[in-house]
Amino acid sequence: MKYNSTTNKNIVVSASQAIAQGISSDGGLFVPVEIPQYSMADIEALTKLDYVGRAKKILSDYLDDFTADEIDECVTKAYTAEKFGSANPAPLSYQKYGDIDMNVLELWHGPTSAFKDMALQILPHLLIKSLRKTYPDKQAVILVATSGDTGKAALEGFKDVDGTKIMVFYPVDGVSPMQKRQMTTQEGENVNVCAIRGNFDDAQTGVKKIFTDPALIEKLEKNGYIFSSANSINWGRLLPQIVYYFSAYSDMVNDGKIALGDKINVVVPTGNFGNILASYYAYRMGLPINKFICASNSNNVLTDFIATGTYDKNRSFYATISPSMDILVSSNLERFLYHMSECDDVKVKGYMTSLKTEGTYTVDSELKEKIGTLFAGGFCDDVKTKAVIDEFFNKYGYLCDTHTAVAVSVYKEYAEQTGDKTPAVLDSTASPYKFSGSVLKAIADGEALPDDEFAMVDLLSAKTGTAVPKPLAALKDKTARFTNVCNADEMPEFVLSALGIE
């Protein structure tokens, strides 16, 4: 299986090269040249396996330069009951919101309480093996731009992994207090964290610039380093996310919620378009998906794109209570456009160039139509988000975080407007305890709240009778190690000085 760049099909690399490198040298993203095809019998075989077994099958179909033993080792180390609380790291919780079924796929039982763990617990294993195959004598410098959750999940995944150094950049005022605390207290000898004066897009643009700066790359090479990425621009981040869509489908079949072959909808609270893109790959592989429902917060650039065919980042940026979705440039849309346009690299390059220079592009009408038949978009502001958290908990007994609530709200409107009764899998992407202040304000409107983050965590637990995830509770007694703040244009200097390179 080979991979090529979304913006130049003449660039062709192996799976391990794609993962080791993270992003193509021309600035495009790596995509599989062919997509493995699963028959209904193949999917039936998956229903008989546990999560680890399902992951092994799917990963091995994409990573053909890994041996079966290597895949086995990566998957088995990543998805342990110790790290994810049970043998199934991605369990479904069958809920009702009024008369609407909410089949909630809880993706936040990992070590950092966000769905990013599903990929970032395995990526370091995949990356180290990829590096040994491609650049045996180089150390990897992992650069991460984060809107809050990726940073911590990547730090936790790469902490003290031999042959790697990791640096995380987050928007100084753009993450929740708990997210900030998770990152600034990070342990490990090979980690570094820096806040950026700016928003997530500034951090992401800064990282992308470093990756494609020839002078910097050369400087690193001379010192025995190679850059790589733990953001969802890295194929090794995206691939493990395909697994939980097949797994959820299998679990629903086994639980008698659907019959094998029935179609489902997926509902995804979306930021960088990685999670929902993973579900699209599952669909292209043969998973029966009817509609993709793309849920955004007030940064509704994707809602507008799906409705009009114009992607326009020239708009106000809102800092919302669902900060991990505060994104105006959704990187993985580039991969989606590539596959939806029958692998038209020239077209994708045109759109991406226009996005870079004008901040906007419009897809042709054929592509817009195609997207519209598969995808529905919707968005929800903070007021609605809070109302949904309140009602879902106080009326129907299920506590969800601010991001999941955006998806619940958008799905509810979709179901009411369309009457579409296809059973839906709705992704729950974070524990409510990562956003205790916002969640408390939603369920206990008007009450005075404590200022201290951990007092809020305790109050949320007392009010809802739910347990605080242990790793979050443990942060209370840790001191901050990383207090650096810099401008986005100072990121290259930060990287060099952290590596001790002149």
Residues that bind ligand PLP (CB under 6 A): 114, 116, 149, 232, 269-275, 324-325, 403, 429-430
To ligand PLP, the closest distance from the beta carbon of 31 in angstroms equals: 16
Q: Other CB atoms closer than 10 Å to residue 385's CB: what's the count?
A: 25
With 0-12 CB in 10 A as exposed, 13-18 as middle and 19+ as buried, what is 143?
buried
The alpha carbon of residue 321 and the mean position of all alpha carbons in its chain are separated, in whole angstroms, by 17
Residues in the chain: 502
To ligand PLP, the closest distance from the beta carbon of 375 in angstroms equals: 13
Residue type for position 32? P
Q: If residue 95 lies in a helix (H) or strand (E), which one and from where to where?
A: strand 92-97
Q: With respect to ligand PLP, which residue has the nearer C-beta, 220 or 239?
A: 239
| All residues at 6 or more sequence positions from 258 whose CB lies less than 8 Å from its CB, including other chains | 249, 252, 264, 423
Q: With respect to ligand PLP, which residue has the nearer C-beta, 56 or 151?
A: 151
To ligand PLP, the closest distance from the beta carbon of 294 in angstroms equals: 9
Task: Determine the Cα–Cα distance for residues 212 and 13; give it in Å rounded to an integer.
Answer: 17
Catalytic hit among 116, 129, 386, 434: 116
To ligand PLP, the closest distance from the beta carbon of 171 in angstroms equals: 14
Q: With respect to ligand PLP, which residue has the nearer C-beta, 108 or 246?
A: 108
DSSP 290-344: EEEEEEE-S--HHHHHHHHSEEE--S-----SSGGG--SS-TTHHHHHHHHTTS-
To ligand PLP, the closest distance from the beta carbon of 3 in angstroms equals: 20
Q: With respect to ligand PLP, which residue has the nearer C-beta, 258 or 388?
A: 388
Query: Using N-to-C axis directions, what is the helix angle for 453-464 and 177-184, rounded to 10°?
Result: 120
Q: With respect to ligand PLP, which residue has the nearer C-beta, 236 or 274?
A: 274
> How large is the C-alpha radius of gyration of the chain?
21
CB of 449 closer than 8 Å to CB of 421: no
Task: Determine the Cα–Cα distance for residues 344 and 364; give it in Å rounded to an integer.
Answer: 12
Q: With respect to ligand PLP, which residue has the nearer C-beta, 124 or 151?
A: 151
Q: With respect to ligand PLP, which residue has the nearer C-beta, 43 or 321?
A: 321
Q: Which two tokens stand for residue 42?
A: 């193949």
Our answer to whether residue 116 is catalytic in this structure is yes
Q: Please give the order of strands across the beta sheet that includes 289-296.
A: 92-97, 100-106, 424-428, 264-269, 289-296, 375-379
To ligand PLP, the closest distance from the beta carbon of 447 in angstroms equals: 25
| All residues at 6 or more sequence positions from 404 whose CB lies less than 8 Å from its CB, including other chains | 104, 269, 426, 427, 428, 429, 430
To ligand PLP, the closest distance from the beta carbon of 327 in angstroms equals: 7
| Distance between start and end Cα atoms, the chain | 40
Q: What are the counts of helices (DSSP H) followed by strands (DSSP E) for the chain?
A: 23, 16
Q: With respect to ligand PLP, which residue has the nearer C-beta, 32 or 269?
A: 269
Residues labelled catalytic: 116
